[in-house]
Amino acid sequence: MNRLQWIVFASITWITLAAAWTSPVQAQIGRQQGLVEANTASEKALLALPHMNSSVVKGILERRPFLGITELNSFLSQSLKKEQLTELYRKMFIHINLNTATKEEILLIPGAGNRMAHEFEEYRPYKSLAQFRKEIGKYVDEKELARLEQYVFVPINLNTASDADIQTIPGLGPRMLHEFKEYRPYKDMGQFRREIGKYVNAKEVARLERYVTL
């Protein structure tokens, strides 16, 4: 590589890195590998899960949306034993917020013991899932990292998130994507609740609010 080629190469590299540093990195739901989302799954999908029966599924459907995995766990614990819940949560869950999840929530992830709960908490605040992959990848292999990622999310910014980022919110279709964007810029979460509350009930607004921030 001659001097001119090197200068061109260095310039392109610098521009690429600068763009990466200055562009907002949008966080979202961890990449999924078939984990069922309890708040949005169909009745048929729920019935196909371990230890699910018509009575339990009916109870889930009547009580949705659950505002977190501990709320769902409290309901399911009335019918299922701890080992049954662990097996079920390998197939179904409600995502936890990496920045606010309690130790109790983290420990409901199958295979996530006290040490992993500590590591989850140590690197807060998470700005992106890339940060989660980097830090937790120090302790587990790629396969386990990918499995853990299914259970977590970092909230997206209401005012800057891309369409693709917004659509990672479970159960959010094209109409709600439009409504999310229509009221930009949001000045506070109160505005979000008022505007989105025109289209869904208060409990569903609260469910959606878990995935967003300003």
Find the DSSP H helices in the chain: 3-22, 43-47, 54-63, 69-76, 82-89, 103-107, 114-122, 129-136, 142-149, 163-166, 174-182, 189-196, 202-209
146 in the same domain as 59: yes
What region, left, alpha or beta, does residue 34 occupy, with left being phi > 0 and alpha being psi -120 to 50 degrees?
left
Q: Quick one: 138 and 198 in the same domain?
A: no
Same domain, 122 and 189: no
Among 138, 153, 168, identify where a domain stops.
153
Task: Spell out the per-residue pLDDT of the chain, length 214, in tens.
Answer: 555 444 434 443 333 333 333 334 444 888 889 999 999 999 999 999 999 999 999 999 999 999 999 999 999 999 999 999 999 999 999 999 999 999 999 999 999 999 999 999 999 999 999 999 999 999 999 999 999 999 999 999 999 999 999 999 999 999 999 999 999 999 999 999 999 999 999 999 999 999 999 9
Q: Are residues 74 and 133 in the same domain?
A: yes
The C-alpha atoms of residue 96 and residue 30 are separated, in whole angstroms, by 10
Q: Specify the pLDDT at position 166.
A: 94
Domain for residue 56, yes or no? yes
What's the rounded Cα separation, in Å, for the pair 105 and 90? 14
- Looking at the structure, tell me whether residues 166 and 142 fall in a common domain: no
Q: Report if residue 15 sits inside a domain.
A: no
Q: In this structure, is residue 170 part of a structural domain? A: yes
Instruction: Write down the pLDDT at residue 67.
Output: 96
End-to-end CA, the chain: 47
Q: Are residues 41 and 71 in the same domain?
A: yes
Residue 29, pLDDT score: 87
Domain extent at residue 103: 36-153
Same domain flag for 112 and 192: no
Given this model, what pLDDT does residue 16 score?
A: 37
Pair of tokens at residue 58: 């009916």
Kindly state whether residues 50 and 144 are assigned to the same domain. Answer: yes
189 and 132 part of one domain: no
pLDDT value, residue 26: 46
Pair 205, 109 in one domain:
no
Instruction: Specify if 68 maps to a domain.
Output: yes
Specify if 2 maps to a domain: no
140 and 184 in a single domain? The answer is no
**Are 71 and 121 part of one and the same domain?**
yes
- What is the count of structural domains for the chain? 2
Which pLDDT value is given to residue 2? Answer: 53
pLDDT score at 9: 40
Q: Name the one residue in this structure whose structure tokens are 């949001």.
A: 186
Neighbouring-strand partners of residue 93: 37
- For the beta carbon of residue 14, count every other beta carbon within 10 angstroms: 10
Do the domain assignments include residue 12?
no
Query: What is the reported pLDDT for 91?
Result: 98
